[in-house]
Amino acid sequence: MAASHQNDRPIPVPYISRLGLAIQPGQTLNIQGNVLPDAKRAEVNLLSGGTEIGVNAQAILHVNLRFDEGKIVLNSFQTNGGWGKEERESIPFKKGQNFDLRIRVLDESFEISCDGKKVHEYKHRTPFQSTEYFQIKGDITLTGVHWGGRFYSLPWEAGFYDGHLGAGQRVHLYGVPKGDRWNLNLVARNGDILFHFNPRFKEKVIVRNSCKGDAWGQEEREGPFPFEKNRGFDLTIINEPYSIQMFANNERIGTFQHRTSNPLGDYIGMRIEGEIEVTGIEFSK
């Protein structure tokens, strides 16, 4: 299961979405946007039974961003028991600035991350599988909402739909770096690595290359290094006519000229390995 709403145009607030399937451990709700300059409060709710807390729904998780108090308040609401005990953390988001809030489902808890860093672990009080809706409202604007993912065991390999990565198609990777190196490879039918994407934290560089016939080509290293250990990121790779385009956290980070004569048909699959926790992988046009 995955649901996405990206920033081609503004996303209206309040935002409510119904989940088509029961949520599973490993899935993550990613929310990006901007805090209004005069913001007081905003909230994210995982709901069961309806879309209004206390009227027809219970809150499996209630995340209340209290800009007026400088706190994040977490709680649950049960229709037969009311609100439970609050759990609080300092809020890192600032008025008038962009924010990135992520809620990841674990077996025993929800993991809450702000701007890529874990801030709280909220133990489940009711079965998370009963979540039917998620709701976002308050003094914020939204640029991206994404729900999906699962637990991924590395190395992870998959072939592309239709047998290849076609013109204009995109690979979206959501992850958290955990060590010095990880890499994403786009591979050919014969096993050649046509595109090698390798962030190296000690060197603070992203190495791009290809390996054909067991021989590595010329490395490309220019460009920014947007990754940090233990901080979540979004990576998008686009197959364009003359090159692979790379974006991290919605910012362009590089271009890799194709090293194959048939880029619309030769990228048949991908492989991810190394010191990284993968939280989501998607493909789109």
pLDDT for 3-51, tens place per residue? 555 545 568 899 999 887 789 998 999 999 999 999 999 999 999 999 8
228 to 25, 56, 111, 119: CA distances (angstroms): 24, 42, 19, 16
> Tens of pLDDT along 67-100?
999 999 999 999 888 999 999 999 999 999 999 9
> What pLDDT band is residue 228 in, cutting at 50, 70 and 90?
very high
Q: pLDDT exceeding 90 applies to what percent of the chain?
A: 77
pTM for the model stands at 0.77
Determine what percent of the chain is predicted with pLDDT higher than 70: 96
Confidence of residue 284 (pLDDT cuts 50, 70, 90): confident
- Rounded Cα gap, residues 40 and 166, in angstroms: 45
Write down all domains in the chain, each with its CATH number in brackets. 3-148 (2.60.120.200), 156-284 (2.60.120.200)
Alpha-carbon gap, residue 274 to 285, rounded angstroms = 27
User: Does residue 226 carry a pLDDT above 60?
Assistant: yes
Question: Contact, 284 vs 170, CB < 8 A?
Answer: yes
pLDDT for the residue 250: 86
* Helices and strands in the chain: count of H runs, count of E runs: 0, 22
Q: Which of 263, 161, 196, 180 is closest to 229 using CA atoms?
A: 180
Residue 1: pLDDT band with limits 50, 70, 90:
very low
Give the model's pLDDT for residue 10.
67
Instruction: Please name which of 162, 215, 167, 165 lies closest in space to residue 191, comparing C-alpha atoms.
Output: 215
Secondary structure of residue 35 in the 3-state scheme? strand
Q: Region 162-168: what's the mean pLDDT? A: 93
